[in-house]
């Protein structure tokens, strides 16, 4: 991340004192210049240069490390159970309400693996009663590494540090942030299951978001979020986030708002142009008319491979996204 000018510009004060007939007014002007230079984002809510914000980048990174320590986190695995416990514990600590949404018995698909489960951490906001803003990420990881060329390796489950881990870590960090920065209107953090369950084009992907969107539609729109933002694959140490095409059509204001915050703050991971159309957890919501967007970096060589591990990720990348999303949340 490139964030400009957190320190005073280098200058030799003693030299300056010798050269300039310094009196009190000059000193005040000098101090003012120095302060202005060192705080380009004064007035914004979340300045990463401020000690108050520093811990969040570490908090998110630590969540990612914990998730990776759990191992693969696909339905029925040990890591999956530990992840659900972590999300629930975090929700009980920071959210106003924790909801679990079980769905779709899948015995008929792959043996008795149990049910899928979406988890929702609800923050009521200071003006409760309005439509919630939904921020989502999938917490499941791919049960097989189908992008591996070796057939034996392709059968093994991936660790999903970036794919599954990064979005989950960001949402867990957001839960802590929302506790200390209560939103005006309700915000729901949704941890989706079953995003990466089946083979590509099998119809067995995005299961959690499809379930939730279908439920909303079935209720005649009751509980409809006013917008949906999905976070996926955002820890790549070479992070480049482009504007995604479906998002631009469905929620142009949300996309522009997020990218303009990044631009104003010289957060170089956000690229001010569009690239690719992605079928992700925002898609089922935009299909039913809810403004929905995804932040994702699909240019990730370790995608759906056993090599999607923590060493490909960076704290700075996650911090860049966390900063933009929290800054945007302050405007909601």
Residues that bind Zn ion (CB under 5 A): 163, 196
Shortest separation between residue 10's beta carbon and Zn ion, angstroms: 45
* H or E element, residue 329: helix 315-329
- The rounded distance, in Å, linking the Cα atoms of 111 and 114 is 9
Q: Which is nearer to Zn ion, 211 or 305 (CB)?
A: 305
* Pairing mode of beta strands 292-296, 227-232: parallel
Which is nearer to Zn ion, 163 or 236 (by Cβ)? Answer: 163
**Min separation Cβ 205 and Zn ion, Å:** 8
Nearest approach, Cβ of 3 to Zn ion (angstroms)? 30
CB 278 within 8 A of CB 244: yes
CA distance 240 to 264: 17
- CB nearer to Zn ion: pick between 40 and 157: 157
Which pair of structure tokens corresponds to residue 70? 């759990």
Number of Cβ within a 10 Å radius of residue 8: 13
Q: Given the complex with Zn ion, which of 68 and 95 has the nearer CB atom?
A: 68
Nearer to Zn ion, 163 or 327 (CB): 163
Q: Nearest approach, Cβ of 38 to Zn ion (angstroms)?
A: 41
Cα–Cα distance, 65 to 58 (Å, whole number)? 10
- Nearest approach in angstroms of CB 299 to Zn ion is 14
Q: What span, in angstroms and rounded, lies between the C-alpha atoms of 123 and 132? A: 9
Residue for token pair 């057939």: 151
DSSP H or E run through 120: strand 115-123
């Amino acid at each position: 991340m490139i964030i400009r000018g957190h320190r005073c510009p280098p200058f030799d004060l003693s030299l300056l004192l010798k050269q300039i007939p310094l009196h009190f007014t000059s000193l005040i002007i000098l101090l003012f210049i120095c302060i202005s230079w060192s705080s380009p984002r004064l007035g914004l809510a979340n300045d990463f240069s401020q000690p108050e914000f520093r811990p969040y980048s570490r908090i998110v990174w630590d969540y990612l490390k914990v998730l990776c320590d759990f191992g693969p986190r696909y339905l029925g695995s040990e890591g999956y159970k530990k992840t659900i416990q972590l999300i629930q514990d975090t929700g009980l600590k920071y959210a106003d309400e924790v909801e679990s949404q079980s769905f779709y018995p899948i015995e008929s698909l792959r043996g008795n693996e149990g049910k899928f489960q979406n988890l929702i951490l609800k923050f009521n906001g200071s003006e409760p009663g309005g439509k919630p803003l939904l921020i989502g990420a999938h917490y499941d990881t791919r049960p097989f590494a189908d992008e591996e060329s070796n057939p034996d390796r392709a059968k093994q489950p991936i660790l999903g540090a970036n794919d599954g881990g990064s979005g989950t870590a960001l949402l867990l960090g957001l839960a802590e942030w929302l506790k200390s920065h209560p939103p005006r209107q309700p915000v729901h953090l949704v941890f989706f299951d079953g995003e990466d369950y089946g083979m590509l084009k099998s119809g067995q992907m995005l299961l959690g978001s499809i379930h939730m969107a279908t439920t909303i539609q079935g209720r005649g729109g009751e509980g409809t979020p006013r917008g949906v933002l999905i976070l996926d694959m955002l820890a790549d140490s070479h992070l480049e986030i482009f504007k995604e095409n479906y998002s631009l059509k469905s929620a142009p204001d949300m996309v522009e708002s997020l990218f303009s915050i990044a631009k104003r703050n010289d957060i170089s991971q956000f690229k001010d142009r569009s690239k690719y159309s992605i079928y992700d957890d925002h898609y089922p919501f935009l299909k039913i008319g809810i403004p929905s967007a995804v932040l994702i970096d699909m240019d990730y060589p370790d995608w759906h491979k056993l090599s999607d591990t923590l060493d490909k990720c960076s704290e700075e990348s996650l911090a860049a996204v966390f900063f933009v999303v929290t800054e945007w949340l302050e405007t909601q």
